[in-house]
Amino acid sequence: MNRIQDTGRRQKYMRVRVAVLFSFLVVFAALVVNRAFYWQVVRADELRAMAEDQYMRNIPLSPKRGSILDRHGAELAVSVEVDSVAADPKALVDSGAKLENVAATLAQLLGVNEARLLRRMKLPKSRFTWIKRRVSPAEGKAVRNLHINGILVTKEAQRFYPNGGLAAHVLGFANIDGRGIEGLELTLDENLRGSSEKVPAIRDRRGRIVFSKQLLDDRAAAGDEVTVTLDKTIQHLAEQELELTVRTFEARAGSIVVMDPKTGEVLAMANFPTYNPNVPGESSVGQRRNRSVTDRFEPGSTIKPFTVAGALSRRAVAPSQQIDCEGGEMQVAEYVIHDSHHWDSLTPGQILAHSSNIGTAKIGLALGRPGLHQALRSFGFGEKTGVRLPGETAGILRHHKRWYEMDAATISFGQGMSATALQITTAMAALANGGKVMHPVLVKRIRDARGDVLEDTMPRVRRRVVPRRTAQLVTEMLTGVTGKGGTGEEASIDGYLVAGKTGTAQKADYVHGGYAKGKWSSSFVGFAPAHAPKLVVSVVIDEPLIAYYGGTVAAPAFRRVMEKSLRHLGVPTDHQGGRLAPHLASHRREKLKEKKLKESLRLAAKTVAELAASNPENSDTVQSQRPPGAGDAQGAAASAPPEEGQVRVPELLGLDVRKAVIKARSNRLSVRLNGSGVVVGQQPEQGSVVAEGSVVSIELNPPGHALPPASKKDEETLQKGQSSVEGTVHNGTHDGLHARNSSFPSAVLAQAVSGGGL
Amino acid sequence: MKARFLALWTVAVVATAASLIVHLTLRFETVRLGYEVGKVRKEQGKLMESQRLLALEAATLRQTDRVETVARGTLGMDVANAPRIIMVGRKAKRMAGRAE
């Protein structure tokens, strides 16, 4: 009984225990859940922040400054990492190192002042001070090897200009902290610098970065890459020639601007004196000034083409109008305008060629004050071009309402106003491209570090200033300037027709008023090839001492820069060139002779036929004088002059490539070359009459190689061809001789044979 | 009843242990990969810097002054004057056509 009672009691006690335990567990679980909720939900954000604060660090991103490239991708400015040495004075003191010893060691290693270094190291509570920035890799390594606690070697970006002073004024330079100070480095600083920002990253207790999403692609913060329109080679040529000119004529300074007239892209902008942007501190402010855009000068006669263009487009003068040049002196108000030569009357073209002040003044006066002001203003004078360079000046072109009585006359030939070299170049580019004033472009493209294009500059027309026909007309007139007897003869280039204008202006004396005695600015601005302009080049030389005429000082520099630049760009020589290359000149002479000969023979043949028709006896005599072989049809075809649009294939066998190509081209034929060496075969054969511009296929073999069988045949053909070519001349000669004998118009034929023309 | 309770209990314990192991493994792997990424990134940075230095060196060697000096001095080259330049090929034909 008791046993049953005990069992029942134990069971009951067990249940109670289980219940108590369960209750306890429930309460405990509730407490755990409560605390968990409190920590995980209620204070979650605060605790997460605390945790992140312990293991996350904000890593400062020091983005590389973007590179500057030329139009072909050549580096003009790049940034690379170099070592810089700094100290943590507090850590130095805490490490127990003897500061005097540390300072002595570092001073010796880095070549810095020991006392100054020691003073910096003893700065109280300071945690950072520079010891030396931008040290050499060897110096950085040596400092690292010292293993001094509190001396740090950090990486810093340094700007390098690998081409030294090339395009220094355009590029400018950045300071030691990577901020643009001059040139494009300044105007595009925001793009080039990139964004300095701090990104969170997990670091371990040793400070090593464990992970950072943002750090995986830090290109987002890097500086943009800028491609400029400059051509490194043309820039070099311009700088080289400018320095040569300034030194030769002992000038004070000078500028050269080269522009593509179709797009307005600036291919070179050279200034002298210059400096090395790698060490800008070694140069003066004057050396660092980009004179092409910051310095204005009185353009003098270089303004005349724009006055004439304005007058022609407004029909104030006619292209063939004779303008009275008053024999070299003209009174305007109380002043007298002079010409260097005394002309009675000149056409606008002659006025430009001889640079007549009086003629231009008369054109300016015919245009009227508002007309002249509007014409020059529309060419861009008196307003900034908007090129992305700091310190650009607009030049001076006062409103016509504020002009003095004399101004309409003097401004028309470039006195009483001022312009920059870039403005003159842009205005001349407008004449070269058919009358459109373009926005000068210097920045071609901007890409971010990922390669995405942020900005791509397309050619932009500012305004159309004169009709195409007027621009062409003025271009024709400007070719006379570089022609024989023109003021810019020195600017003419063998093989290319050059249009341009010289300028010689006395400098204004801003201290005493009027013009400074003996201070001149000489200039030349022009373009080539005149009929299909590729480049506009302006040369401005400030205060030359040896000579001062633009045609003497600036024109030769123009010629050299233009000639070399055209060659660099692969622009073929111009068949209409004023001064042509020797082979082209002889080709032109030959063409002329040939044409006249053909014409004479045609006339002679016609006369013969007419005479023969009227007098059968004479006709028989003529036929009997034909050379052997001329009687058959083939011989007649071979010896007869080719018809209009046709040419005879010349003999090319045995010639080297150069001579063969010249000969073929002088006969208005194209060539296809196979192999190298001397010509051993050609197709079509020499003597064949083909259409102008036909392709002659030339087989070449190295000299000394035996002629292939086919070429022997060609050789025979050559001889045959030669005889037929000779036959042509003999034919004429015979006809000529016969003509004399048979009362032909002898003067006509004598001229025909000698190539003198009719 | 008891067996079922034990089974469920065991499953709960095993699941908890397994999730803990998976979590720790993932955490460990994340840290390891983080170090790996950091190391590779550092290497990439070094290589990019070397590339930049080499580009700078190449640009310095391509200085127009230097090229001209080498061409004229060492190689004895000279600038060809206009008559010695003959354009051949399609471009020349096109340009000549345009010129006329």
Distance CA A452, CA A222 (A): 13
With beta carbons under 8 A apart, name residues in chain B contacting A74: 59, 62
Rounded CA-CA distance A413/A250 in Å is 26
Question: Pairing mode, if any, of strands A75-87 and A129-135?
Answer: antiparallel
* A374: amino acid identity, one letter: Q
Cβ contact, residue pair B59, A74, below 8 Å: yes
User: Residue A96: which residues within 8 A CB-CB, separation 6 or more?
Assistant: none
Nearest CA of chain B to the CA of A552: how many Å?
22
Is any Cβ of chain A less than 8 angstroms from the Cβ of B83?
yes
Q: Does A581 touch chain B (CB under 8 A)?
A: yes
Residues 366-425 of A with CB under 8 A from B: none
Whether A539 contacts A561, CB under 8 Å: yes
Annotated catalytic residue within A301, A418, A521, A522: A301
DSSP secondary structure string, A432-478?
HTTSEEEPPB-EEEEE-TTS-EEEEPPP-EEEE-S-HHHHHHHHHHH
Q: Residue B94: list chain A partners with CB under 8 A.
A: none
* Regions of chain A short of the pLDDT cut 50: 576-589, 608, 611-612, 614-639, 705-758
- Look at residue A371 in the predicted model and tell me its pLDDT: 94
Residues 17-76 of A with CB under 8 A from B: 64, 74-75
ipTM field: 0.73
Question: How close B27 gets to chain A, by Cα (Å)?
Answer: 12
Q: Return the pLDDT at A732.
A: 31
Reported as a single tens digit per residue, the pLDDT across A366-394 is: 999 999 999 999 999 999 999 999 999 99
Q: Is A203 on the interface with B (CB under 8 A)?
A: no
Number of A to B CB contacts under 8 A, please give it: 102
Q: CA A527, CA A261: separation in Å to the nearest integer?
A: 9
Q: Which residue from B37, B81, B88 is facing A661, i.e. has the nearest CB?
A: B88
Contact present, B88 and A672 (Cβ < 8 Å): no
> Which of B52, B81, B98 shows the shortest C-beta gap to A80?
B52
The 3-state DSSP class for residue B78 equals coil
A671 lies within 8 A of chain B by CB: yes
Cβ of B56 within 8 Å of Cβ of A160? The answer is yes
Minimum Cα–Cα distance from B84: chain A residue: A658
Cα A301 to Cα A522: distance, rounded to the nearest angstrom? 10
* Closest to A226 (Cα-Cα) out of A180, A264, A260, A261: A180
Question: Which residue from A minimizes the CA distance to B94?
Answer: A572
Choosing among B31, B36, B65, which should be mutated to test the A contact, i.e. which has the most A CBs within 10 A?
B65
B82 to chain A, any CB pair closer than 8 A? The answer is: yes
Residue-level length of chain B:
100
Pairing of the two strands A515-528 and A209-211: unpaired
Which pLDDT score is estimated for A4?
A: 74
For A571, the token pair is 């622009």
Contacts of A245 (CB under 8 A, 6+ apart): A251, A254, A539, A541, A553, A554, A556, A557
Degrees (nearest 5) of the Cα angle B70, B75, B77?
95
| Chain-chain contact of B91 with A78 (C-beta, under 8 angstroms) | no
> What CA–CA distance (Å, rounded) separates B43 from B32?
17
Catalytic residue status for A301: yes
Backbone angles phi and psi of A65, in degrees to 5: -70, 135
Q: Does the beta-carbon distance from B91 to A210 stay under 8 Å?
A: no
Q: Each residue of A391-413: b (16+ CB within 10 Å) or e? A: ebebbebeebeebeebbbbbbbb
Does the beta carbon of B1 lie under 8 angstroms from any beta carbon of chain A? no
Residue of B nearest to A582 (CA): B83
**Among candidates B31, B37, B88 on the partner chain, residue whose Cβ is nearest the Cβ of A671:** B88
Interface mutation target, options A670, A676, A692, A698, chain B, most CBs of B under 10 Å: A670
pLDDT at A167: 95
Judging contacts by C-beta atoms under 8 Å, the chain B residues touching residue A209 are 34, 38, 41
The answer to whether the CB atoms of A215 and B81 lie below 8 A apart is no
- Give the distance from residue B11's alpha carbon to the nearest chain A alpha carbon, in angstroms: 20
Is the CB of B59 inside 8 Å of chain A's CB atoms? yes
**CB–CB of A582 and B83 under 8 A?**
yes
Of the partner residues B38, B81, B85, the one whose CB lies closest to the CB of residue A209: B38
- Cα separations (Å) of A620 from A617, A624, A730? 5, 6, 19
Chain-centre distance for alpha carbon A442: 9
pLDDT given for residue A551 in this prediction: 93
Instruction: Show the tokens assigned to A460.
Output: 């932009």
Min Cα–Cα distance to chain B from A76, Å: 8
Question: Closest chain B residue to A81 measured between Cα atoms?
Answer: B49
DSSP code of residue A162? T
Query: Closest approach of chain B CAs to the CA of A367, in angstroms?
Result: 34
Q: What are residue A674's DSSP bridge partners? A: A699
Asked if B86's CB is within 8 angstroms of A662's CB, the reply is yes
The pLDDT tens digits for B40-77 are 888 988 898 888 889 889 999 999 889 989 999 889 89
Cα(A553)–Cα(A545) distance, rounded to whole angstroms? 10
Of the residues A18, A72, A80, A199, the best mutation for testing chain B's interface (the one with the most B CB atoms within 10 Å of its CB) is A80
Q: How far is A153 from chain B (nearest CA, A)?
A: 16
Closest CA to A202 of A211, A193, A192: A211
Chain A CB contacts of B67 under 8 Å are none
Q: Does A157 contact chain B (CB < 8 Å)? A: no
Per-window interface: B 7-36 vs A, CB < 8 A: 30-31, 33-35
Exposure string (b/e) for A327-357, b if CB count within 10 Å is 16 or more?
ebebebeeeebebeeebeebbbbbbbbbbbb
Does the pTM surpass 0.80? The reply is: no
What per-residue confidence (pLDDT) applies to A322?
Answer: 93
CA distance A546 to A553: 9
Q: Which of A539, A538, A534 is nearest to A566 (CA)?
A: A534
Q: Is A495 on the interface with B (CB under 8 A)?
A: yes
Of A467, A382, A481, A395, the closest CA to residue A431 belongs to: A467
| pLDDT value at B83 more than 60 | yes
A244 touches chain B (CB under 8 A): no
